[in-house]
Chains A and B, each alone.
Chain A
Amino acid sequence: MIEEKNKYLSASLYDELMEGRPDLKTCLEGIMFISEKPVTVYEISKILNLEKKLVQETIDELQDEYIKNNRGFIIRKIGNGYRMYSNPSLKDVLKNFVNTSQKAHITQAALETLAIVAYRQPVTRQQIAEIRGVKTDSIVINLVNKGLVRESGRLKVQGSPILYRTTPKFLEMLGLKNINELPELNIKED
């Protein structure tokens, strides 16, 4: 039975790991290591049944430790949550290791559409088209499919057009903590 459980670990190492009661830092590392999206302080505090303040302080300590010790990974705050990323100094090493073609390619038209949604949200496709001067239906649908934009109710006017907002994935893609991090718009309006 033990052999089956530990076929990738020696019995002594498995026993050693199982004996030590995991402390909060170990738990946080484990949770963030397996997570495929940013995990919030609230989610962690709920799982571990701990105060949010304690969880937040420990994440901050871990963040500092990784940077001070020049580890291969770092913790970044993205949107409302935290996620493990590779150390940016490993860029050249990892680009040959990771299939970079998997990175999302965003066209200029899609970036302009995203910019309008980000600043004017919630916004309809018609309102986006008015600013860009061209129809943007397929671009918006594409952005929805990519998870960067989502539907957010309907505008209460004739025809009830769908309203759109940006998603946490949009913040994640641009490395933003929240939407307020975007610079202020400078448009002359009469």
Chain B
Amino acid sequence: MNEIYKTGQNSGFIIDFDYFSGPVNILLDLVFKKREFIYEIKISEIIREFISFIDKNRNNTLEELSGFVYIISIMLDLKSKSLIPSRNNNVLQEDKNDNLNILRQREDEYRTFRQISGYFSELLENEEVYFVREAPVEEEFLDFFNEVFNKIKAKDLQDIASGLLSAKQEKFNIVEFYNKKITKNIFQEIKRIKNVLQSKDNISFKELTNEYDELIDIVIAFLSILELYKNEDIDIEQFEIFGEIIIKKFAA
């Protein structure tokens, strides 16, 4: 544990929520010990509390402030990774050296492609000495002009443009979403899905959530599926974009 990590406990900033009360570095420690705890943590709430804390305590040192930013960034990283389905990837036990090697490898790869882009630039420059007969209309648009534009009138274009440019009503209210009382958690939902899959081999996501009226319940069901997939409890199939998601028992 380095020095900046330790500073979290000296900043005077204490979290006081239902699920945890104490300094943020202890919270992070808890997350490392009990990985499921990351689901309980609302990072946006912690940040909001911290902003109000520094508004009231202007004398905090830069080191204390950056200590908080450091801890919160680790939590954000863990939280985001925990939501992404990835097999054989125990996020909280990742070897830092491995990550560093991956990073170096990616840097090498990027540097090589950057050099190649320089080579492409040279080729483009060489091509500047040649001139060629240009097509008046791109080939892919030839049919488009014939088939579509011959049938479209100016009024049609005006209607399409007006429709596209008119202000859209925002149907999703994010404030309302966050203020909704949560009646279940991911662990309960995981248990329910496992129970459902005991009696049948597969089920669609639509069937699984057809009794849910609240968006938050559907989101919890979706996150539960990601967690089950990550733990190799289920398999997921989706044959087309926005198509039905089929949840199947995992076949080892």
Neighbouring A residues of B139 by C-beta, 8 Å: 37
From B85, B120, B240, A111 is in contact (CB under 8 Å) with B120
From B116, B128, B131, A119 is in contact (CB under 8 Å) with B116
Q: Is the CB of B106 within 8 A of A130?
A: yes
Closest chain B residue to A94, Cβ basis: B131
- Knowing A76-B130, A175-B130 are in contact, say whether A158-B85 is a contact too (CB < 8 A): yes
Neighbouring B residues of A147 by C-beta, 8 Å: 138, 140
Q: How far is the CA of A147 from the CA of B141 in the complex (A)?
A: 11
Q: How far is the CA of A98 from the CA of B114 in the complex (A)?
A: 31
Q: How far is the CA of A53 from the CA of B124 in the complex (A)?
A: 32
- Knowing A37-B135, A112-B114, A131-B110 are in contact, say whether A88-B130 is a contact too (CB < 8 A): yes
Q: Is the CB of A159 within 8 A of B238?
A: yes
Q: Is B94 an interface residue (CB 8 A)?
A: no
Closest chain A residue to B127, Cβ basis: A175
How many chain B residues touch A (CB < 8 A): the figure is 35
Q: How far is the CA of A114 from the CA of B117 in the complex (A)?
A: 8
Q: Is the CB of A102 within 8 A of B130?
A: no
Closest chain B residue to A35, Cβ basis: B133
Q: Is the CB of B132 within 8 A of A86?
A: yes
Q: Is A165 an interface residue (CB 8 A)?
A: no
Q: How far is the CA of A76 from the CA of B123 in the complex (A)?
A: 15
From B101, B110, B123, B236, A190 is in contact (CB under 8 Å) with B101
Chain B proximity of A77: nearest CB distance (Å) = 13
Closest chain A residue to B120, Cβ basis: A111
Neighbouring A residues of B209 by C-beta, 8 Å: none
Q: Is the CB of B123 within 8 A of A175?
A: yes
Chain B proximity of A159: nearest CB distance (Å) = 7
Chain A proximity of B221: nearest CB distance (Å) = 17
Chain B proximity of A41: nearest CB distance (Å) = 19
Q: Is the CB of A133 within 8 A of B106?
A: yes
Interface residues of A in 1-57 (CB under 8 A from B): 35-37
Neighbouring B residues of A119 by C-beta, 8 Å: 113, 116
Neighbouring B residues of A116 by C-beta, 8 Å: 113
Q: How far is the CA of A185 from the CA of B119 in the complex (A)?
A: 12
Q: What is the 8 Å Cβ interface bit string for chain B, positions 213-228, against chain A (1 contact, 0 not)?
A: 0000000000000000
Q: Is the CB of A190 within 8 A of B105?
A: yes
From A131, A133, A158, A175, B126 is in contact (CB under 8 Å) with A175
A85-B131, A86-B131 known, 10 other contacts, Cβ within 8 Å: A102-B134, A112-B117, A114-B120, A115-B114, A158-B85, A158-B238, A160-B239, A174-B123, A175-B127, A187-B109
Of all A-B residue pairs in the complex, the 9 with the closest CB atoms, nearest first, are A111-B117, A88-B129, A115-B116, A36-B135, A86-B131, A174-B123, A85-B130, A91-B129, A112-B117
Cross-chain pairs A/B with CB under 8 angstroms, 22 sampled? A35-B133, A36-B135, A85-B132, A86-B130, A88-B129, A90-B131, A102-B134, A103-B128, A111-B121, A115-B113, A115-B116, A115-B117, A118-B116, A158-B236, A160-B238, A160-B240, A176-B123, A183-B116, A183-B119, A187-B108, A187-B112, A190-B105
